[in-house]
């Protein structure tokens, strides 16, 4: 390598180093620890610490019902691997669609009482590709997005190239104001049922009422609710009796169902159009048959079994009450995501490290990336498999860590609350 070429390469590496350094002080810097889940012992996992392996209790897993280790789910995956192999073999348009994938799409459509559903390789891709395509298909579409929407939704809206307006989180007056200002233009209202960071719930009924008055399309991200809320795990809209009023439902198979993949459910004509116009569907491999079989088993089990969701709700309520009694800054809410206000991201990371090293509790900070530096939370995800001893231990450990670090920031309600 010549001297000039070497200098050029070093200059390029400096660009990458600077880019990483800029992220080190906020939540956009990604640094994970080595944690290995233990089959049959959820929510325990093995942390490969600098001093060697150690068992820890996990409080940050989206697998809140433990379905990834359920015998029906694991059995369906193993059986399908032996029958059909590990991979799908290619994209659906080029090599065909395996029967298990079609059965899964039909099951998802039935779950949400929609005419059709289509699968993507992840919930992120379902939003990034699906939401983008939906908006592009509507001439002059205006996308109105809740300010706390997931990054995948933000990316999908951005990729659509459509005009967008951001409405203040759950602020119905602001949403109505935007709809009035943009009256006469086709609009799509994009929002979530349960928000991932705060755990608060959207006013779905009132949003549907506004959508009807102004002729807007409703796009609902149910990723944090499917499998957990509503009849058979159909989500928050189903629980509120509003599923029929939602035009497009997006969900994931990677959280309550313990597998992998994302989907969009809606009218058959919409799904048919997306198959042609959503690049994230057409130009990538299909979900492998074993994953489809595992997801199918998880959905069917949770349609019939309620104890997992009931136990999760009980554990979440018990933990929330314990944290409030301990005087910790719990964000208001009644659902299964619990957030404690910390503020400074560096302090939040230090608190999580202390919980891991001193108490063998695995927890990670979270926050809205737009203001991540000084609005960090500790996001707690209880599960149906945590027991009372674990709940008590977490409350006591958090109280001790709070006394040790003394974070000064407290929960600040949104304008609409």
Q: Tell me the CATH number at 394.
A: 3.90.1150.10
Q: What is the mean pLDDT of the chain?
A: 90
pLDDT computed for residue 47 by the predictor: 93
Cα 402 to Cα 7, 118, 241, 347, 359, distances in angstroms: 48, 45, 40, 11, 13
- Same domain, residue pair 204 and 105: yes
Q: Which of 304, 322, 337 is the last residue of a domain?
A: 304
Residue-wise pLDDT tens digits, 90-99: 888 778 788 9
CB 257 within 8 A of CB 63: no
If one counts every other C-beta atom within 10 angstroms of the C-beta of residue 159, the result is 17
Residue 326 and residue 328: Cα distance in Å, rounded? Answer: 6
Residue 56 lies in a domain: yes
For residue 14, give its domain range: 1-28
Going by C-alpha positions, the residue among 269, 279, 244 that lies closest to residue 155 is 279
Q: Give dist(CA 303, CA 233) in Å, integer.
A: 6
pLDDT in tens, 13-38: 666 666 555 555 555 555 568 889 98
Within-domain flag for 412: no
Instruction: Determine the average pLDDT of the residues in 208-236.
Output: 97
CA 25, CA 272: separation in Å to the nearest integer? Answer: 44
pLDDT tens readout for residues 253-295? 999 999 999 999 999 999 999 988 887 777 888 899 999 999 9
Does the pLDDT at position 325 exceed 80?
A: yes
What value, to the nearest 5°, has the Cα angle with vertex 98 and ends 94 and 102? 110
Reading the block at residue 311, the tokens are: 């136990």
What is the reported pTM?
0.90
d(CA 189, CA 134): 12
Same domain as 193, residue 333: no
């Amino acid at each position: 390598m010549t001297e000039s070429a070497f200098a050029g390469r070093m200059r390029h590496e400096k660009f990458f180093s600077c880019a990483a350094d800029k992220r080190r002080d906020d939540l956009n810097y990604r640094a994970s620890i080595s944690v290995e889940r233990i089959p049959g012992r959820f929510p325990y996992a093995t942390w490969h610490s600098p001093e060697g392996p150690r068992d820890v209790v996990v409080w940050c897993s989206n697998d809140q019902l433990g379905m990834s280790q359920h015998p029906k789910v694991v059995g369906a995956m193993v059986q399908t691997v032996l029958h059909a192999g590990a991979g799908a073999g290619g994209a659906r348009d080029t090599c065909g669609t395996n029967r298990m994938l079609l059965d899964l799409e039909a099951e998802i459509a039935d779950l949400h009482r929609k005419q059709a559903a289509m699968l993507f390789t992840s919930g992120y891709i379902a939003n990034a590709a699906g939401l983008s395509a939906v908006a592009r298909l509507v001439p002059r579409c205006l996308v109105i997005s809740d300010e706390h929407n997931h990054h995948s939704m933000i990316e999908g809206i951005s990729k659509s190239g459509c005009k967008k307006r951001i409405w203040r989180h759950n602020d119905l007056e602001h949403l109505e104001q935007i709809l009035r200002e943009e009256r006469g233009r086709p609009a799509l209202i994009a929002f979530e049922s349960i928000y991932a960071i705060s755990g608060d719930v959207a006013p779905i009924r009132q949003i549907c009422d506004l959508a009807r008055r102004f002729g807007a399309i409703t796009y609902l991200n149910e990723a944090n609710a499917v499998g957990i809320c509503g009849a058979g795990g159909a989500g928050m809209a189903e629980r509120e009796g509003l599923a029929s009023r939602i035009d497009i439902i997006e969900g994931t198979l990677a959280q309550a169902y313990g597998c992998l993949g994302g989907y969009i459910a809606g009218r058959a004509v919409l799904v048919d159009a997306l198959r042609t116009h959503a690049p994230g569907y057409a130009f990538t491999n299909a979900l492998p048959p074993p994953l489809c079989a595992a997801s199918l088993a998880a959905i069917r089990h949770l349609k019939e079994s309620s104890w997992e969701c009931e136990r999760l709700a009980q554990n979440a309520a018990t933990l929330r009450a314990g944290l409030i009694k301990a005087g910790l800054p719990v964000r208001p809410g009644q659902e299964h995501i619990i957030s404690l206000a910390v503020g400074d991201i560096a302090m939040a990371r230090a608190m999580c490290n202390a919980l891991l090293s001193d108490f063998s509790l695995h927890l990670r900070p979270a926050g809205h990336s737009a203001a991540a530096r000084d609005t960090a939370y500790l996001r707690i995800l209880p599960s149906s498999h945590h027991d009372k001893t674990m709940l008590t231990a977490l409350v006591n450990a958090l109280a001790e860590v709070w006394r040790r670090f003394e974070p000064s920031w407290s929960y600040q309600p949104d304008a609409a609350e």
